[in-house]
Each structure stands twice: as C-alpha cells, then as structure tokens.
Amino acid sequence: MAALPLPSNDAESPALAVRLRGLTVAFDGKAVLDKLDLDLRQGEILGLIGASGSGKSVLMRAILGLLPKQSGTIAIFGRDLDGLAPAELRQLEQRCGVMFQQGALFSSLTILDNIALPMRELLHLPDDLITEMAMVKLDLVGLPRDAATKYPAQLSGGMTKRAALARALALDPEILFLDEPTSGLDPIAADSFDRLLLALKRSLGLTVMMVTHDLSSLRATCDRIAAIARGRIVAVGKLGDLLAHDDPWLHAYFAGERGRTIFADSPLPQHLSAPQPHAP
C-alpha cells in the first residue's frame, strides 16, 4: 500500500536535515531496505517504527555511513554524501550525534572519559578544557557530578542511557540519532528520558530521528512518525495520520492491548478498535 505523501522540498516546505531517495541496503542479496524514501525535517523529532528486523536500525546505520548502501541517495543538510571529499564528509559527520541501543559505552573508561573521547579524538583542545566541556554535557543530561568518576557497570540503566546521550552530544551535533533510547527502562525512567529529550530539543534546537517501540514515547515526543514495512516507508505523518492509515501492519501495531491502553483517552478509529491479525 502507498505511504502517505512525502513532503516536497519547495519554498513553503520545512528545510530538510536528511533526505533519502531510493535507498537500498541488502545483505546476501536480500534487500532489507528497498528503494526507501524519507525526509527528516529540521527541528523535528521523527519516530521510526517497524517490526523487529524490518530495517529500522539498518536505516539509521546506513545514514551514518556504518553500513554500505547498494543504491539511492543520502543527503544531509542538502549535501549528497556520495559527492563529498573525505574531509567534507568528516565535517558533516561531526554535525550528527548517535546514541546506540545499549549505550555502547567503553566499559574500561570512566563516564567522564567516555563523554570526552570524541572531543579528544577530533577537537585537539587542551585536556583541562575538554574535561570542563565533558562535565557540562554531564550536567546537561541531568547526571550527578559524581557519576563522572564511575564506570558504566556502576550505573543504573537510566543513568547509562543519559551517559550515552551525553557522549552523543559531545560535539554539539545538530542532528541526533537515537536507537531505542527507552528500551529496558522502567516507566518512571522512560518518562524522565522523554522529558529530557524534549527539553534538549527546545534548548539546543536539535533535530532527532528516534527508532523506538515505545508507544508512550512516540506519543509524548514525536512530531511525526514513519513506519517501515516490506523494506519501505508505508506511512509517515503525525500520530493521527498513522492511526487513520489503512496499512494492515499499522492496524496490528496500534490496536494491540498496549496501544488501546496508551491511546485510551484518544479513541482509535473504528477499524482499529479491536486487535487485528499480524501482517508480514
């Protein structure tokens, strides 16, 4: 089924942080992403949903250059990545921050050193200034200052997520990529992370692409949501647009017990009022 229309990039459309056209990524000859189109608008939080194995994380890693693409174009701030010299590509990459699902913190480094690592690698500043800047990031994500000397294994799940977020913000990125940022968190910690994300978006002017299965986070934080199925974006728009869409996978996604509970005060459309069979 056709996705909701993609926004055009004309004078009246929002400026685009990321523009994907015809993106194909395959493993062993099997396409995980199949000529996928998607826009990430500057200043928005875009939620990315899809079944397990649908290609959500693959999409994010392809944008970041961590996975090769077979075809298509990836443009960040209007710059086609294929046409950039290595130095230009590195500069553009520094405008992007990423937080991986499990945090991906280095277990042998303190939290302060984890946050400072991108600065030490790329900024070539005096060490005392880097330490000061890393402490600012620690404060920014709401971690206590004594967390700086701890190691990742000594942190709770919520604190680990915040430490990983602080490292993602180390180079003051304009685009933030989040992979399942609230997975494994209890409801209180997840709600706290959602509030932090919204505060950072407002204060720093961030643009965010967030892979998530957390329906509460989708509702609380996302300006738009894009759904991946069958290797392509099958729907993109505000939450209400997706609730009203006729794709069978979306029916199953939003009409389950969790969806009906979360959206209890916003009645689902009639076709979503009862659970639907899973669609491949």
Domain boundaries, the chain: 44-65+85-272
Confidence at residue 100, expressed as pLDDT on a 0 to 100 scale: 86
pLDDT tens digits, one per residue of 74-126 = 999 999 999 899 999 988 989 999 998 776 899 999 999 999 999 998 888 99
d(CA 34, CA 59): 11
What's 44-65+85-272's CATH class? alpha beta
Task: Provide long-range contacts, Cβ within 8 A and 24+ apart, for 129-134.
Answer: 133/170, 134/166, 134/170
pLDDT(273) > 50: no
**pLDDT at residue 157, rounded to an integer:** 83
Instruction: Determine the pLDDT at residue 256.
Output: 66
Tell me the pLDDT tens digit for each residue of 195-208.
999 999 999 999 99
pLDDT at 279 over 60: no
pLDDT per position as a tens digit, 55-72: 899 999 999 999 999 999
- Please calculate the CA angle 212-217-220 and round it to the nearest 5 degrees: 145
Taking the C-alpha atoms of residue 50 and residue 232, their distance in angstroms, rounded to an integer, is 10
Give this prediction's pTM.
Answer: 0.85
